[in-house]
Structure 1
């Protein structure tokens, strides 16, 4: 029997117009209204305005969570599509937890809002994506260089390093890569340099009750499927300073027997990574209400 997995993209996949036709659906109208009451600003308006503002962490993360949650509700509640597994890349893990009904829409958005505020205020860091590089050379260089780590292990030939600007630049000077693209972020996300932010977020996370997942969740820091609320909350906390092990997540999904992977949200970053890591999987992108058909 074939198995279906939903995966949710994170920061970097946002795009002006990503709200598309979602406001035309009843669930979309309800969610956008709820979001404005919680956030104090309009996700719809933000998604329709300039890219620079939308790309600011403070706005990007809540907007992505709201858009992905609406698509999830259309797929599961209205379409009757129930995946056997869910996973999300960085911020997308919150959408995955919502899809698994670990928490409700409001609770998830409040978490994402606080996470975005804390991360938006983080400074002094740098993140750079590397494409087509010598992995052994990179690992050796990272091992001997302090204040820089592997933040996102996306595929065999696509990773992100994170750390102080000086440490990141030092690694770049030693590691040959076909492309090195600085990310538009304020801090060294998914690195030990986020420890202070993580401690502040821990207080917020502790106050939010998690329920048992209705769908097994593969977490960024541990891609083994779990439905245990305590474990899922612990993993989410570790994500603040830990590596996003996305390549391992895709391999684990394939080992679990998943044959179809659906990226729920704007863009096709995750399906693009899957093509390189697990080319045998059937892939689909769902980014608007009108194409919520699997």
Structure 2
């Protein structure tokens, strides 16, 4: 299938709202890049769209206490009586996720709603696959499953969900956290996820790259290794090569991303700089680097047409390790998300910072995969002691 057809199928004006009269601007592809078409589509994101009655409930708050994002509530409530939510990102998906939610009506309703918005069967793809389709649609699948996991958490620990006073999400998981905090309407977040997927894929096809997890020795010289990798890529003919940290996971583990020539050089020569081990990340491109700049532009355009509010509970962003502020801050940060490093280690430090001797909150790690708790253990073992995985 051509990139033009892929992008047209991902265009929300046609796919999510097929009765909409707005024409897909990518339909005349002669001489234009896929990313240019995505930018055009993003500029009209949401035009002429009326909210369907069946979607009205999706705008109701996940956050149980409107206004609870203020500092006063945080100081009045003892830490051990509060809850923090962590939402996973891309790569946590697995075929079969969601099956533990089959008998929870609210979770199944969420999957049905999501399917009606995005135009494909989210429940089937999550629970049955195939793996190739799940990988292609993993961004939406992971966010929906993470939010559905909240419904299981309500059954297992109802009071804990009512006491949520903070949240964070790894990369795309931040969108799930913002939906919970009522900063983004669910249906608009789902549309944005589909656009995010298409824009990142198009950027990756226009400038191929990859991602590499690296485990570092205590005396590792990663900045020098990245610089040498860039120099090698330049010698191979790559113009303005990219090789940089894309994910800050924990002190001795990072994900680097960039041009393929640079990554191959790191795999062969990294040990000279204290890289103990490295492993490829299954990703379509060099996410969270400047190679995603055009995808960032598409998201920025689309976000201008989406209703955004200040989060009702603090959501710490992994772009800058700060809690989101007003709506303009949410828009700006979400647009930068795809082209900026994921500062997860720093976000966790910000989320769990508290005076010495104070108790830690209960943490619920939601959705598929165990990476969130594994990373938390490396960053803050005491916070990990108070964490629980809500399996799906």
**TM-score of the superposition, structure 1-length normalised?**
0.90
Instruction: Look up the match of 2:374.
Output: 272
CA deviation string 1:14-38 (max 9, x = no partner):
0111111323222122212211111
Distance 1:178 1:143, change over 3 A: closer
Moved more, 130-139 or 18-27: 130-139
Q: Which runs of 5+ in 1 are unaligned?
A: 289-294
1:113 and 2:181 correspond: no
Residue 240 of structure 1 and its aligned partner are, at CA, apart by 1.2
Q: Is 2:175 the partner of 1:97? A: no
Which is bigger in relative contact order (C-alpha 8 A, separation at least 6)? Answer: 1
Q: Secondary structure at the match of 1:129?
A: strand
Q: Offset of 1:179 from its aligned partner?
A: 2.6
- C-alpha contact 2:248 2:343 (8 A) present in aligned 1: yes
Query: Residue 149 of structure 1 aligns with which residue?
Result: 244
Task: Name the residue aligned to 2:391.
Answer: 287
Question: Residue deviations 1:253-286, cap 9 Å, x none?
Answer: 2214743322111111011011111001112111
Contact kept in structure 2, 1:72 and 1:99, CA below 8 Å:
no
Structure 1 residues 51 and 8, CA gap change in structure 2 (3 angstroms): same
Query: Once structures 1 and 2 are overlaid, which stretch shifts more, 175-184 or 60-69?
Result: 175-184
Instruction: Compute the TM-score of the two structures, normalised by the length of structure 2.
Output: 0.69
d(CA) in 1 for partners of 2:166, 2:249: 19
Q: RMSD across aligned C-alpha pairs, in angstroms? A: 2.0
Radius of gyration: which is bigger?
2
Q: Distance in 1 between matches of 2:164 and 2:111?
A: 24
Structure 1 position 67 matched with structure 2 position 145: yes
- Kept after mapping to 1: 8 A contact 2:101/2:152: no
Counterpart for residue 133 of structure 2? 53
Verify the 8 A CA contact 2:85 2:364 in the aligned structure 1.
yes
Contact 2:112–2:122 (CA under 8 A) maintained in structure 1: no
Partner residue, 1:228: 326
1:158 aligned to 2:253? yes
Q: Distance in 1 between matches of 2:189 and 2:116?
A: 14
Residue pair 2:112, 2:123 contacting (<8 A) in 1 also? no
Structure 1: how far apart are the matches of 2:88 and 2:106?
A: 21
Gapped regions of structure 2 (runs ≥ 5) = 1-77, 231-240
Residues in 1 aligned to 2:296 and 2:218: alpha-carbon distance in whole angstroms? 31
Greater CA drift, 262-271 or 44-53: 44-53
Call closer, same or farther: CA 1:60–1:133 in 2, change over 3 Å: farther
3-state SS, counterpart of residue 240 of structure 1 = helix
Task: Determine whether 1:240 maps to 2:338.
Answer: yes
Give the equivalent residue in structure 2 for 1:39: 118
Instruction: Determine if the alignment matches structure 1 residue 5 to structure 2 residue 109.
Output: no
Deviation at 1:73?
4.7
1:133 and 1:193 map into 2 onto residues whose CA distance is 28
Work out whether residues 226 and 232 of structure 1, in 8 Å CA contact, stay in contact via their aligned partners in 2: yes
Greater CA drift, 190-199 or 126-135: 126-135
Per-residue CA deviations over 1:231-256 (Å, capped at 9, x if unaligned) read: 12211111111010011111112214
Counterpart contact for 2:104–2:151, Cα < 8 Å: no
Instruction: Determine the C-alpha separation between the residues in 2 that align with 1:36 and 1:15.
Output: 18
8 Å Cα contact 2:87/2:169 also seen in 1: yes
